[in-house]
């Protein structure tokens, strides 16, 4: 189909969402279906279709989503109800809304590769320490099944 002229196109808004944990790099296709499911569960099929949600990009710690202008807060509310992606826990927090992706890309802060450090024992179980940005550390339980993560800070670790 021939593209519409710019004056006949729908106006869009782009939303930059920060992922938590910050080292997650969301796959755009999986994130699209997850957000679409959340929006459908919250607002129904008709309202979700009117939002015209799509996921433009996913980089480490961030995702850029697109929707029709005027529907951005509904999409952000739907994103707030996303709790898992591919079976692991995630949260999406809105950072900025803009009419261009270029403006949002400037807001993306580069997140360093998480470094897995030494092992610690907590309540008799071994945890791997993952250093995040700032003072934050994530303790990832070393097991094959039921992988559990604890969210601590360096000061907490000093008090173990």
* Closer residue to other proteins, CB minimum distance, 1 or 58: 58
* Closer residue to other proteins, CB minimum distance, 3 or 160: 160
- Figure out which of the listed residues 47, 50, 59, 80 binds other proteins, where binding follows CB under 8 A: 80
Least CB distance to other proteins at residue 10 (A): 22
Residues 6+ apart with CB under 8 A from 141: 125, 126, 127, 128, 147, 148, 149, 150
Residues 6+ apart with CB under 8 A from 21: 90, 132, 138, 149, 151
Q: Environment class of residue 7 by beta-carbon count within 10 Å: exposed (0-12), middle (13-18) or buried (19+)?
A: exposed
Least CB distance to other proteins at residue 94 (A): 6
Is residue 59 near other proteins by the rule CB under 8 A?
Answer: no
- Figure out which of the listed residues 93, 107, 109, 142 binds other proteins, where binding follows CB under 8 A: 93
Structure tokens at 50: 């009117």
Is residue 156 near other proteins by the rule CB under 8 A?
Answer: yes
- Binding positions for other proteins, rule: CB under 8 A: 20-21, 41-42, 73-74, 76-77, 80-81, 83, 89-91, 93-94, 134-136, 148-153, 155-156
């Amino acid at each position: 189909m021939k593209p519409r002229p710019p004056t006949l196109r729908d106006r869009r808004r782009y939303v930059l969402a920060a992922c938590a944990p910050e080292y997650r790099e969301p796959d755009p296709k999986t994130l699209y279906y997850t957000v679409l499911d959340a929006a459908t569960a919250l607002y129904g099929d008709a309202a979700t279709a009117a939002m015209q949600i799509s996921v433009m990009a996913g980089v480490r710690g961030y995702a850029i989503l697109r929707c029709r202008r005027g529907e951005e807060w509904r999409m952000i509310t739907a994103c707030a109800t996303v709790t898992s992606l591919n079976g692991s826990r995630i949260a999406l927090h809105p950072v900025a809304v803009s009419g261009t992706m270029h403006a949002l890309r400037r807001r993306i802060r580069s997140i360093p590769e998480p470094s897995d450090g030494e092992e610690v024992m907590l309540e008799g179980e071994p945890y791997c320490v993952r250093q995040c940005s700032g003072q934050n550390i994530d303790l990832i339980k070393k097991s094959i099944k039921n992988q559990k993560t604890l969210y601590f800070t360096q000061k907490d670790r000093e008090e173990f």
